[in-house]
């Protein structure tokens, strides 16, 4: 345990040292501008500056991807600050101790002043100015421009890259972790080029500061040498100019190296190979190009007056390289390629992980509809689907399963389809950016556009541009956008298939929710009197006939009152409908006005009553009677709808269930009520008689 504690403490100590390294380094760099430094320490720091610049250049050369060196903008700032601090510290030493000789500011400055420029201050000034011009006008300016353009293009390309990542994720090509990492890389790349655009300004400022500092050192040294140390103009000029030039060179050469590294980082393209491998592979890999170059250099070499030996040597070297490369390529062509036999597929046993549960509700869209369901683009359809589920729960009485949305490249670009437990129950097309003008039946004109039908209710419609929206509304069209079209279709299908969406899990959740307020009522019914599956069938039967189940208290009480006598779901549905009669009628005929309904001719009613007298389960209609019943019911329903009335058929209680199930498929909009379900205070008016005259 003690050894473990010591190891943990050591690890924490190392982490603390790493965390403290950066602030300590910054403080030390800033302190160099204020505190005097001895010549030996200056030599050490100048050498460290050169080593750091060479190290950064080597890292930039061997970096394969830009983000592998994402700390480079910060490194650029720190190294620039280090060079300026050394300039200030060396200037102090040069002006204070320069009269003592050219080694007064340390051996490094003296070496750069003597060895690199031959001790000639005029040559030193020219070399220094050339290095500054190269750094300032060429490398730094070019690298800054590349960083600026790259930052702009990277930022503009971010939405497309994010969509591509989302598309790969939805298609299953990548996982959540890889998608998250790729999104982070896209954001980091944008931040990197933006930082490089600003960091390049530090290097340009450093080049300008180097010129100014060198000039100040020269003129300041002349004044200090002649005024304070009684040196002659020539002697002061020689000593202080060499010291100033050496100081400028020892700072500008690392600055030039850092600028080259910056240019290499921002101009490279991400590749799995380092820069040296890319350079050789892309420049010296084409024998034909090398041969042409060798011929041109050799022709220049035989021109009289030209340095023939040098040109011919270079041309001969390129010709030799061309010959070697051609030989290598020929061997590759002649060498038969051994094709390895395909590996035997490893037999993987099936597991329960291969069994993926089907989504209860699904929505698949073509790629042009992706913006409507994309979270990053704040897709309008997503909000509408959330609203549909909430409204359904409030009106119908239970929470429908979430809608699983995915893109499907097999669909048309503007197509979508709605799935229930993996089976398509609806499909259509929607055009993002356009509006669907639906003809409700009475419009004052026609519109130019793609003629279609409303996918939810089959009404004639036209897809129009946004410029025709006001005109369409003036003509009397109902105008909706693409997301509303899909949402309305989805809502209609959810209401139509509400019974199939109510599974045992949803019924149990309903009971758990009801038990919080009425625990005894739920406890007495399920499972003591009625199994959960039987209650589910009762609720599904109600939903299939369009009856909402919000009033679960009344439903549970009605089932509990009659479950002891019969557990047949059909019998229980009859009793529940009678208990919910007021709510059912209110749902169809809001308010307290009269109910305008359809009814059966007495003769037809007697005939049907006799047919069901032997039991509804074995009842079948004579074909002619069935055809007449369906045809006249459909005609009467259309007449009711044309008058703005709900198509409701009022029949005796013994016929209600039979006629409801028989007419549901052919006249889906029809609602069948029994006399027992109508409250006593409602007035009934018969508008149509089926099987007789109106």
State the pTM of this model.
Answer: 0.51
Nearest to 184 by CA among 199, 162, 202: 162
Per DSSP, the residues of 138-185 read: IIIHHHHHHHHHHHHHHHHHHHHHHHHHHHHHHHTSS-HHHHHHHHHH
Q: What is the pLDDT of residues 500-542, one digit of tens each?
A: 999 999 999 999 888 888 888 888 888 888 888 899 999 999 9
pLDDT digits (tens, 9 = 90+) for 267-287: 765 555 565 666 666 666 677
The model's confidence at residue 489, banded by pLDDT at 50, 70 and 90, is: very high
| Pairwise CA distance, residues 434 & 452, whole Å | 13
pLDDT tens for each residue of 43-80 = 788 788 778 888 887 887 777 777 777 777 787 778 87
**How far is CA 592 from each of CA 1, 16, 396, 596, 680, rounded to the nearest angstrom?**
83, 79, 22, 12, 12
Whole-angstrom distance, CA of residue 243 vs CA of residue 240? 5
Cα gap 37→175, rounded to integer Å: 57
Question: Going by C-beta distance under 8 Å and a sequence separation of 6 or more, which residues neighbour residue 32?
Answer: 45, 85, 86, 88, 89
Predicted confidence (pLDDT) at residue 341 exceeds the cutoff of 70: no
Q: Would you say residue 649 has pLDDT above 90?
A: yes
List beta partners, residue 688.
Answer: 598
Q: Is the dihedral of CA 627, 633, 639, 644 positive or negative?
A: negative
pLDDT band, residue 543 (cuts 50/70/90): very high
What is the set of domains in the chain, with CATH numbers?
A: 36-147+205-268 (no CATH), 301-330 (no CATH), 361-499 (3.40.30.60), 503-579 (1.10.8.540), 588-694 (3.40.50.12790)
Strand, coil or helix: what is 35?
A: coil
DSSP one-letter code for 617: G
Reported as a pLDDT band with limits 50, 70 and 90, residue 99 is: low
Q: Is the pLDDT of residue 427 over 90?
A: yes
The reported pLDDT for the residue numbered 270 is 55
Residue 638 main-chain phi, psi, to 5 deg? -65, -35
The Cα angle at residue 321 between residues 317 and 323, in degrees rounded to 5: 115
């Amino acid at each position: 345990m003690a050894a473990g504690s010591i190891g943990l403490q050591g690890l924490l100590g190392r982490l603390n040292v790493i965390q403290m390294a950066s602030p300590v380094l910054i403080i030390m760099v800033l302190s160099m501008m204020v505190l005097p430094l001895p010549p030996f320490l200056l030599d050490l720091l100048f050498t460290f500056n050169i080593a750091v610049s060479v190290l950064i250049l080597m890292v930039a050369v061997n970096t394969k991807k830009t983000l592998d060196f994402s700390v480079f903008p910060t490194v650029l700032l720190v190294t620039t600050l280090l060079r300026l601090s050394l300039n200030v510290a060396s200037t102090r030493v040069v002006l204070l101790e320069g009269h003592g000789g050219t080694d007064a500011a340390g051996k490094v400055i003296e070496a750069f002043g003597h060895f690199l420029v031959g001790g000639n201050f005029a040559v030193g000034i020219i070399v220094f100015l050339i290095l500054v011009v190269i750094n300032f006008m060429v490398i730094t300016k070019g690298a800054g421009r590349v960083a600026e353009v790259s930052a702009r293009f990277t930022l503009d390309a971010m939405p497309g890259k994010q969509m591509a990542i989302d598309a790969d994720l939805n298609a299953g090509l990548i996982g959540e972790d890889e998608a998250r990492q790729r999104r982070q890389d896209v954001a980091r790349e944008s931040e990197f080029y933006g930082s490089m655009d600003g960091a390049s300004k530090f290097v340009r400022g450093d080049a300008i500061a180097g010129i100014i500092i060198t000039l100040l050192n020269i003129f300041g040294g002349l004044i200090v040498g002649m005024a304070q140390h009684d040196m002659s103009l020539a002697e002061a000029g020689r000593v202080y100019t060499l010291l100033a030039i050496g100081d400028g060179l020892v700072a500008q050469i690392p600055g030039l190296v850092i600028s080259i590294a910056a240019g290499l980082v921002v101009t490279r393209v991400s590749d799995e190979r380092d820069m040296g491998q890319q350079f050789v592979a892309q420049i010296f890999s084409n024998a034909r190009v090398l041969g042409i170059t060798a011929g041109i250099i050799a022709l220049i070499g035989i021109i009289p007056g030209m340095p023939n030996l040098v040109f011919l040597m270079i041309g001969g070297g390129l010709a030799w390289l061309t010959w070697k490369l051609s030989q290598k390529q020929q061997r590759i062509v002649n060498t038969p390629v051994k094709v390895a036999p395909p590996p035997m597929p490893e037999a993987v046993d099936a597991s329960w992980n291969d069994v993926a549960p089907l989504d209860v509700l699904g929505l698949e869209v073509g790629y042009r509809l992706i913006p409507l369901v994309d979270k990053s683009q704040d897709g309008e359809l997503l909000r509408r689907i959330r609203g549909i589920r909430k409204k359904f729960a409030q009106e119908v009485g239970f929470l429908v399963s979430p809608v699983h949305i995915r893109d499907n490249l097999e669909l048309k670009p503007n197509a979508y389809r709605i799935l229930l437990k993996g089976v398509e129950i609806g499909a259509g097309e929607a055009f993002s950016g356009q509006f669907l003008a639906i003809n409700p039946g009475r419009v004052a004109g026609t519109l130019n556009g793609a003629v279609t039908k409303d996918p939810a209710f089959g009404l004639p419609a036209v897809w129009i541009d946004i410029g025709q929206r006001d005109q369409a509304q003036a003509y009397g069209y109902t105008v909706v956008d693409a997301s509303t079209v899909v949402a309305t279709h989805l809502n209609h299908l959810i209401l139509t298939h509400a019974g199939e969406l109510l599974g045992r899990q949803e019924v149990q959740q309903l009971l758990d929710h009801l038990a919080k307020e009425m625990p005894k009522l739920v406890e007495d019914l399920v499972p003591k009197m009625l199994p959960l599956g039987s209650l589910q069938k009762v609720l599904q039967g109600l939903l299939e006939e369009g009856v909402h189940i919000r009033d679960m208290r009344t439903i549970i009480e009605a089932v509990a009152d009659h479950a002891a006598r019969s557990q047949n779901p059909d019998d229980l549905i009859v009793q529940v409908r009678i208990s919910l009669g007021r709510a059912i009628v209110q749902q169809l005929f809001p308010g307290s006005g009269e109910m305008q309904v359809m009814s059966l001719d007495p003769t037809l009613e007697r005939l049907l009553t006799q047919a069901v007298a032997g039991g509804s389960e074995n009842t079948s209609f004579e074909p002619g009677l069935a055809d007449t019943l369906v045809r006249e019911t459909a005609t009467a329903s259309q007449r009711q709808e044309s008058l703005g009335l709900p198509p409701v058929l009022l029949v005796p209680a013994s016929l209600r269930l039979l006629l409801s199930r028989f007419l549901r498929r052919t006249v889906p909009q029809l609602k069948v009520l029994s006399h027992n379900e109508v409250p006593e205070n409602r007035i009934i008016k018969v508008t149509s008689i089926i099987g007789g005259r109106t």
